[in-house]
């Protein structure tokens, strides 16, 4: 045994030293991976990660120095990610219910707080029941396969989130992809889908790259005409769209027409993690029996449940936070447009500053950071070619001064790079 340890140490295989597998297959794999990574770098689509050394919030400290950075690129729409009451609720849940369940829900992973949170989510959305997942990615991965069979059809907006696309891939229903928010195309596809037993229209409520909102009224009218169900992903709407922050269905007055909602606890609702489906009770019951990411994955940790539960309490008590975010969104959008920028979408805290050119978006985002403003540029293949942009996300905890500083920096940087006259 000691000889083995000595040999490993001599080969650099001691504790803490990474071990490289040897052999022809491992060498071939390494070569292929390195080529692929080089390809990503060469295509200019490498995604690097900035390391944050503080809590999530409007003002950040970046690892390696940068302090007092103004943050405009988190989905922390309501500023609850570091809200003192949300943090306290997490600590209390951690102390009372432990670090985690070491189990899936149906074996020994359901605590009273999981049931309470599901009940609260259903009440918040005015639905019959709700089921928790480790993420909304999982909720989207689990629903279509559990619900739809080869006799059914699913009609999906072409710009739906990757997790909806993946969830649909996993199911055996007949698949239709309609053009982004194009109701004529959706109608044509619904007509064709009449031959199937059940039709489900699936759309993001708000689209994260453009900040545009699905035409849910028209979608629900078509669904009624062609006897279809409506599913919405409300990750970029829950907690802040609509008069009481219930989401896109409340904003557009169709709460009683949308059958299924999937959403996340990892953005506006405290920002920790977790996702859910809410809708008719028999659907939720079926998901508990059949949905694979629910059945075969660990329960949500108590601290995470505590965060989300407190975030929902705060929102159900008052919609003041959501209103303050709406006012700040309005301030940013109107000032930027007055400065001469084109901002995509309408009234949504996702404010894409449209620039067109990928390089321009990248250098402007870099220059913004040099001025202490953290924003991210997006270009092809994340968005269509020629539609590069910098995506700005507004939060309730940005002050008016933060917003004005951001607009001033954009104006300076825009002039410098000739994106503005």
Residues classed as catalytic: 208, 236, 267
* Paired sense of beta strands 260-264 and 228-233, if any: parallel
**Of residues 151-180, which lie at the interface with ligand PLP (CB under 6 A)?**
161, 163
Question: Does residue 136 bind ligand PLP (CB under 6 A)?
Answer: yes
Question: Does residue 203 bind ligand PLP (CB under 6 A)?
Answer: no
Nearer to ligand PLP, 223 or 269 (CB): 269
Question: Does residue 270 bind ligand PLP (CB under 6 A)?
Answer: no
- Say if CB 141 and CB 119 are below 8 A apart: no
* Cα–Cα distance measured from residue 291 to residue 146, given in angstroms and rounded to the nearest whole number: 6
| Burial class (CB within 10 angstroms; exposed 0-12, middle 13-18, buried 19+) of 54 | middle
Q: What's the min distance (Å) between Cβ of 25 and ligand PLP?
A: 33
- Residues belonging to the chain: 421
Question: Does residue 208 bind ligand PLP (CB under 6 A)?
Answer: yes
Runs of H (alpha helix) within 207-264:
216-225, 248-251
Q: What's the min distance (Å) between Cβ of 171 and ligand PLP?
A: 17
Candidate segments 60-68, 91-99, 132-140, 176-184, binder of ligand PLP by CB under 6 A: 132-140
C-alpha angle with apex 262: 310 to 329, nearest 5 degrees?
65
> What is the DSSP code (8-state) at residue 277?
E
**Of residues 222-261, which lie at the interface with ligand PLP (CB under 6 A)?**
233, 235-236
Candidate segments 4-12, 101-109, 136-144, 301-309, binder of ligand PLP by CB under 6 A: 136-144
Nearer to ligand PLP, 352 or 414 (CB): 352
Question: Does residue 319 bind ligand PLP (CB under 6 A)?
Answer: no
Q: What's the min distance (Å) between Cβ of 381 and ligand PLP?
A: 16
* Cα–Cα distance measured from residue 252 to residue 236, given in angstroms and rounded to the nearest whole number: 15
C-alpha angle with apex 49: 47 to 55, nearest 5 degrees?
150
- Say if CB 76 and CB 272 are below 8 A apart: no
- Say if CB 138 and CB 293 are below 8 A apart: yes
Query: Dihedral of CA 168/236/82/369: which sign?
Result: positive
Q: Tokens representing 379?
A: 């270009």
Q: What's the min distance (Å) between Cβ of 292 and ligand PLP?
A: 15
Nearer to ligand PLP, 308 or 362 (CB): 308
**Count of residues of this chain found to bind ligand PLP when the rule CB under 6 A is applied:** 14
Q: What's the min distance (Å) between Cβ of 3 and ligand PLP?
A: 48
Residues that bind ligand PLP (CB under 6 A): 135-137, 140, 161, 163, 204, 208, 233, 235-236, 264, 266, 275
């Amino acid at each position: 045994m000691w000889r083995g340890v000595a040999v490993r140490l001599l080969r650099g295989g001691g504790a803490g030293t990474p071990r490289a597998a040897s052999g022809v297959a491992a060498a071939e794999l390494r070569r292929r991976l390195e080529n692929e990574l080089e390809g990503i770098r060469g295509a200019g689509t490498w995604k690097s990660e900035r390391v944050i050394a503080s809590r999530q919030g409007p003002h950040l400290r970046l690892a390696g120095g940068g302090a007092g950075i103004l943050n405009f690129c988190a989905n922390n729409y309501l500023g609850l990610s570091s809200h003192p009451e949300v943090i306290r609720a997490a600590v209390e849940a951690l102390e009372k219910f432990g670090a985690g369940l070491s189990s899936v829900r149906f074996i020994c992973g359901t605590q009273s707080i999981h049931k309470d949170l599901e009940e609260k989510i259903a009440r918040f959305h005015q639905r019959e029941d709700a089921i928790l997942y480790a993420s909304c990615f999982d909720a989207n991965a689990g629903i279509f396969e559990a619900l739809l069979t080869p006799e059914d059809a699913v009609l999906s907006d072409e710009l739906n989130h990757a997790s909806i696309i993946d969830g649909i891939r996993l199911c055996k229903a007949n698949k239709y992809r309609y053009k982004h928010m194009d109701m004529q195309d959706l109608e044509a596809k619904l007509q064709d889908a009449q031959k199937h037993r059940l039709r489900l229209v699936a759309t993001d409520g708000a689209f994260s790259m453009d900040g545009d909102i699905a035409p849910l009224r028209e979608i629900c009218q078509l669904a009624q005409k062609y006897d279809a169900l409506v599913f919405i992903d409300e990750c970029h709407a829950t907690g802040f769209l609509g008069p009481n922050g219930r989401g896109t269905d409340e904003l557009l007055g169709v709460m009683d027409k949308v059958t299924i909602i999937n959403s996340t606890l990892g953005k506006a609702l405290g920002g920790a993690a977790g996702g859910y489906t809410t809708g008719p009770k028999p659907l939720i019951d079926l998901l508990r029996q059949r949905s694979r990411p629910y059945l075969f994955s660990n329960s949500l940790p108590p601290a995470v449940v505590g965060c989300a539960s407190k975030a929902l309490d705060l929102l159900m008590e008052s919609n003041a936070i959501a209103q303050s975010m709406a006012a700040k969104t309005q301030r940013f959008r109107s000032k930027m447009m007055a400065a001469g920028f084109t901002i995509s979408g309408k009234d949504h805290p996702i404010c894409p500053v449209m620039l067109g050119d990928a390089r321009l978006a990248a250098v402007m985002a870099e220059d913004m950071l040099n001025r202490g403003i953290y924003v991210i540029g997006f270009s092809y293949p994340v968005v269509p070619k020629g539609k590069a942009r910098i995506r700005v996300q507004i939060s309730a905890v940005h002050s008016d001064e933060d917003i004005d500083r951001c607009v001033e920096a954009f104006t300076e940087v825009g002039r410098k790079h000739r994106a503005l006259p």
